[in-house]
Structure 1
Amino acid sequence: MSVIELDDVVKRYESGAQTVTALKGVDFHADRGEMVTIIGPSGSGKSTMLNMIGLLDTPTEGTVHLDGRNVTGFTEDELTEERRTTLGFVFQDFHLLPMLSAVENVELPSVWDTSVDRRDRAIDLLKRVGLGDRLDHTPDELSGGQQQRVAIARSLINGPDILLMDEPTGNLDQDTGRTILEEVTRLKEEENIAVVAVTHDEQMLDYTDRTVRIVDGVIQS
């Protein structure tokens, strides 16, 4: 069973007097243990599609299934809970809080969860991405690649089933980007999670298990 599935998803936006159709009957799935890369030109619908997968937006038509459950009609509170427990997000700009240390940034998404030892989990994740000696460093004391590793560790703190990455190597040089992709590949297998990434970075295609191309809101076969 796919961990995430879009079935005939249509998304329309009202823009003044115009209606813009960003997604036109999109079918998509991702399974545990695989990395799927979404590519396409600017304005093709990649970001809208990622928002659907990440439960950040809801379809105008069609359905979204998460672990076999139809979540299309969930309330905003229910979607928020699903995002917190099932999804991890990694952004191009890292989005680390500058006043917090690496370990505090990683702990942040689990701040309301009293059932686990957040600090131990955060330290373990940072060690696994090679930052065991940078636990107390703030973002301005870390390189771009190190900040992205902190962001990846943070995305895994709640044990998600799906890791969503928006241009994860966009702000990194090629060598650092390759290191990050190798790290994600290893974590994908260790954690048995699905990784879905939107990218313009051609080198990412060397690491992906499957590539999906979208043009003008339509998946290309």
Structure 2
Amino acid sequence: MSIIELEGVVKEYQSGSETIEALKGVDFYANRGEMVTVIGPSGSGKSTMLNMTGLLDTPTEGIVRLEGVDVSALSEDELTEKRRSGIGFVFQDFHLLPMLTAVENVELPSMWDTSVDRHGRAIDLLKRVGLEDRLDHLPSELSGGQQQRVAIARALINEPKILLADEPTGNLDQDTARTILAELTRLKTEEDIAIVVVSHDELLMEYADRTVELIDGVIT
């Protein structure tokens, strides 16, 4: 069974008197242990699709299922809990807090849960992404690639079922981008998670198990 599934998803926005159809009947799924890359030009609807996959937005029409369950009837609090416990997010701009160390940034999403050893898991995750010697460094003391690895470790702290990455290599040179993509490829198997990456960078196709192309709100 797919971890996440979009069925016939349409998303419309109002811009003045004009209706903009960002997604036009999208069907999509992702399974545990695979990386799916969604490519397409700017304005094709990739970010809107990622928001649907991450339960950050609701479709105008269609169904979003998480582990086979239609989430349309869930309350906002229930959706928040699903995102917190089941979905990790990695962004192009890292979004690390500048006053916190690497290990503190990784711990942040799990600070609500006192029943787990979040500090130990944060250290373990940073070691797994090759940053065991950067635990106490601030973001300003890390390279772009190192900051992205911290962001990946942070996204994994709550043991999500899905990792969503929005242009994760957009601010990186090609060598560093390849290092990050190789890291994601390894982690999808080790953590048994589904990874969905949206990008206009065709380099990601080399690392994906599947690639889908989104053009003008339609998967081709």
TM-score by length of 2: 0.99
Say which SS state the counterpart of residue 176 (structure 1) adopts: helix
Which residue in the other structure is 2:160 paired with? 160
Which residue in the other structure is 1:24 paired with? 24
What 5-or-longer segments of structure 2 have no aligned partner? none
What 5-or-longer segments of structure 1 have no aligned partner? none
Say which SS state the counterpart of residue 13 (structure 1) adopts: strand
Deviations for 1:22-49, whole angstroms, at most 9, x for unmatched residues?
A: 1111100000000000011111111100
Deviations for 1:141-197, whole angstroms, at most 9, x for unmatched residues?
A: 000000000000000000000000000000000000000111110000000100000
Which residue in the other structure is 1:134 paired with? 134
Deviations for 1:64-103, whole angstroms, at most 9, x for unmatched residues?
A: 0001111122111111110000000000000000000000
- Distance, in Å, in 1 between the alignment partners of 2:40 and 2:218 is 10
Which residue in the other structure is 2:46 paired with? 46
- Distance, in Å, in 2 between the alignment partners of 1:121 and 1:161 is 16
Which residue in the other structure is 2:15 paired with? 15
Structure 2 contact 39–201 (Cα < 8 Å) conserved: no
Structure 2 contact 166–198 (Cα < 8 Å) conserved: yes
Say which SS state the counterpart of residue 182 (structure 2) adopts: helix
Say which SS state the counterpart of residue 152 (structure 1) adopts: helix
Q: How much does 1:204 deviate? A: 1.1
Say which SS state the counterpart of residue 82 (structure 2) adopts: helix
Out of 134-143 and 37-46, give the one that drifted further. 37-46
Task: Indicate the RMSD between aligned Cα atoms, in angstroms.
Answer: 0.6
Q: How does 1:89-168 map to 2 (within 5 A)?
A: 89-168=89-168
Q: How does 1:193-204 map to 2 (within 5 A)?
A: 193-204=193-204
- Distance, in Å, in 2 between the alignment partners of 1:169 and 1:42 is 15
Which residue in the other structure is 1:79 paired with? 79
- Distance, in Å, in 1 between the alignment partners of 2:42 and 2:139 is 30
Say which SS state the counterpart of residue 72 (structure 2) adopts: coil
- Distance, in Å, in 1 between the alignment partners of 2:72 and 2:5 is 11
TM-score by length of 1: 0.98
- Distance, in Å, in 1 between the alignment partners of 2:129 and 2:42 is 31
Query: In the alignment, is residue 211 of structure 1 matched against residue 204 of structure 2?
Result: no
Structure 2 contact 32–161 (Cα < 8 Å) conserved: yes
Say which SS state the counterpart of residue 179 (structure 2) adopts: helix
Say which SS state the counterpart of residue 211 (structure 1) adopts: strand
- Distance, in Å, in 2 between the alignment partners of 1:171 and 1:215 is 23
- Distance, in Å, in 2 between the alignment partners of 1:218 and 1:194 is 22
Say which SS state the counterpart of residue 160 (structure 1) adopts: coil
Please tell me the residue identity of whatever aligns with 1:125.
Answer: L
